[in-house]
Amino acid sequence: MTRLFQIAVLGLAALALTGCNGTEKDVPIWRDIKITDLVSVDSNQPSASTPPVLKTINFDVYIFEIPAENADSLDDIWQMLYTKPLQFNNHNAFKTNSFSAGFGQVQMWNKIRDSLLAAGTEKVRTVSLMLPDGQSNRLFITRLDEQQTIFYSSTAGSMEGITIGPGTLTLRITAEKIPDSPGVCRTSAEPVFSPLIKSGFLQSRHSERSDDLFFTSAGFTARTSPGDFVLLGPKKYIPNQMILAGLFFSRPQPKPVIRTYLLVCIGIN
């Protein structure tokens, strides 16, 4: 019960990082949200009258924007988080790509939240992901309407350029339960570019295609339990949209901002 309460607090605190637009900004935005909306049902003890619960691993992803002029505030936030629980596909390439990631637990969230608020951070979107065990889902990052060349560091450590577009850039998230470790899953994430299919439509975020381009050098894996989170953002502000990190984390118009992604494990059924 304590764990569920902590997860709920994390969810509510993240929701509090909201934009200042609207006429009801003084009304707590969590007033209609129940704890059961934020944590999954414990399916390990089903009653005879309860239908079976789909075996899934559930995440909430909070997308924040920080004014570009406050980019230095991220340095303090990274110092609060752990990197040891994270396994990078290639740590040097991850850093060269100007990606940063930090692991935290629910009891750490208040300090992180205070630092984000002090930097003028606003929450722009929340996405709920429900992943069947061992399968993946995709978080939309941005859409490219035209061809363009972007540069990134490969797993071999070399800087490479590739022409992509039109299509979508997403974060592919995969989770699978760890045998003999109840309540723990292995969570992996990596950027993926998916070209438009010939009909002009985008592919389903659940599907895989042979022409998907995986940026494995910017990927990582972590062991997560409900209440654990990973914050993903840039090592520094890069306004250049020809660099993978710039395309992934920055929005230059109408006012330059940095985007960060808070991936929270909220339940393992």
Is the pLDDT at 79 greater than 70, yes or no?
A: yes
User: Which of 30-44, 103-117, 173-187 shows the lowest per-residue confidence on average (mean pLDDT)?
Assistant: 30-44
Amino acid at site 268: I
* Closest CA relative to residue 100, chosen from 122, 127, 82, 118: 82
Ranges assigned E (strand) in 85-227: 86-88, 99-105, 122-132, 136-144, 148-153, 159-164, 167-177, 185-195, 213-214, 220-224
With beta carbons less than 8 A apart as the criterion, state whether 163 and 145 touch.
no
Q: State both tokens at 230.
A: 């990973």
Count Cα neighbours of 131 within 13 Å in the Cβ-side half-sphere. 31
pLDDT value of position 181: 87
State which H helix or E strand residue 246 sits in. Answer: helix 244-249
Beta bridge partners of 123: 18, 64
Q: 49-58, 204-213, 238-247 — which one is most confidently predicted on average? A: 238-247
With beta carbons less than 8 A apart as the criterion, state whether 56 and 136 touch.
no
Which one is predicted more confidently, 269 or 150?
A: 150
Alpha-carbon torsion, ordered 173, 176, 182, 183, to 10 deg: 10
pLDDT digits (tens, 9 = 90+) for 133-182: 999 999 999 999 999 999 999 998 899 999 999 999 999 999 999 998 88
Please state the domain extents for the chain. 2-44+56-268
Give residue 23's pLDDT band: very low, low, confident or very high (50, 70, 90).
very low
CA distance 51 to 47: 8
Chain CA centroid to CA 178, Å: 21
Average per-residue pLDDT in the chain? 82
Is the pLDDT at 24 greater than 50, yes or no?
A: no
pLDDT value of position 39: 41
pLDDT value of position 26: 39
Peptide bond into 166 cis (omega under 30): yes
User: Which of 39-48, 72-81, 93-102, 241-250 shows the lowest per-residue confidence on average (mean pLDDT)?
Assistant: 39-48
Chain CA centroid to CA 36, Å: 22
Is the pLDDT at 116 greater than 50, yes or no?
A: yes
Is the pLDDT at 115 greater than 90, yes or no?
A: yes
CA distance 186 to 240: 33
Is the pLDDT at 37 greater than 90, yes or no?
A: no
pLDDT value of position 233: 96
Is the pLDDT at 199 greater than 90, yes or no?
A: no
Q: What does the DSSP 8-state code read for residue 54?
A: P
pTM, rounded to two decimals: 0.81
CA distance 250 to 79: 21
For residues 19-45, one letter each, b for 16 or more C-beta atoms within 10 angstroms of the residue's C-beta and e for the rest, the string is eeeeeeeeeeebeeeeeeebbbeeeee
pLDDT value of position 6: 53
CA distance 175 to 38: 19
Is the pLDDT at 98 greater than 80, yes or no?
A: yes
Give residue 239's pLDDT band: very low, low, confident or very high (50, 70, 90).
confident
Chain CA centroid to CA 259, Å: 10
CA distance 152 to 117: 31
